């Protein structure tokens, strides 16, 4: 399977703990995106990378959130001091930046539950 891979699929944590999620994009894709989806809502943009550079961050991304893509391949999203409001599905997507617009390809997400 050469699609976008996310790990873990599910994460249950206690409030105040730190969590880290991993995303492996489609190998030739140079853009990588993180989205968050809560029940009854569409995915909400958090941040994106072109290669290793983080080029855009949403105002939804509080200081407790940090994302990295150190070698321009896989990416990690860390949430520090988790809160119950962080419970959501975290989706990663990738695309290939060319002269034409390329649709985003999503992984199956990491479902975070903060208790």
Partner 1 sequence: DQQVKQNSPSLSVQEGRISILNCDYTNSMFDYFLWYKKYPAEGPTFLISISSIKDKNEDGRFTVFLNKSAKHLSLHIVPSQPGDSAVYFCAASAPGGADGLTFGKGTHLIIQP
Q: Which of 67, 93, 112, 114 binds partner 1 (CB under 8 A)?
A: 93
What phi and psi values does residue 63 have, to the nearest 5 degrees?
-65, -15
Q: What's the rounded Cα separation, in Å, for the pair 70 and 36?
A: 21
Q: What's the rounded Cα separation, in Å, for the pair 52 and 85?
A: 29
Q: What's the rounded Cα separation, in Å, for the pair 70 and 49?
A: 10
Q: Does 97 bind partner 1 (CB under 8 A)?
A: yes
Q: Does 99 bind partner 1 (CB under 8 A)?
A: no
Minimum distance between the CB of residue 73 and partner 1, rounded to whole angstroms?
Answer: 19
Count of residues of this chain found to bind partner 1 when the rule CB under 8 A is applied: 26
Binding residues for partner 1, rule: CB under 8 A, are 4, 31, 33, 35, 40-45, 48, 50, 55-56, 58, 91, 93, 97, 101, 103-109
């Amino acid at each position: 399977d050469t699609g976008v891979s996310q790990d873990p699929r599910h994460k249950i944590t206690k409030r105040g703990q730190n969590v880290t999620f991993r995303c492996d994009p489609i190998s030739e894709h140079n853009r990588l995106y993180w989205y968050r989806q809560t029940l009854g809502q569409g995915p909400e943009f958090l941040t994106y990378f072109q290669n290793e550079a983080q080029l855009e961050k949403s105002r939804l991304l509080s200081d407790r959130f940090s994302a990295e893509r150190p070698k321009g391949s896989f990416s990690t999203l860390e949430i520090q001091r988790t809160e119950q409001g962080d419970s959501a599905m975290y989706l990663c997507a990738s695309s290939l930046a060319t002269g034409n617009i390329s649709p985003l390809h999503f992984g199956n997400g990491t479902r975070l539950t903060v208790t």
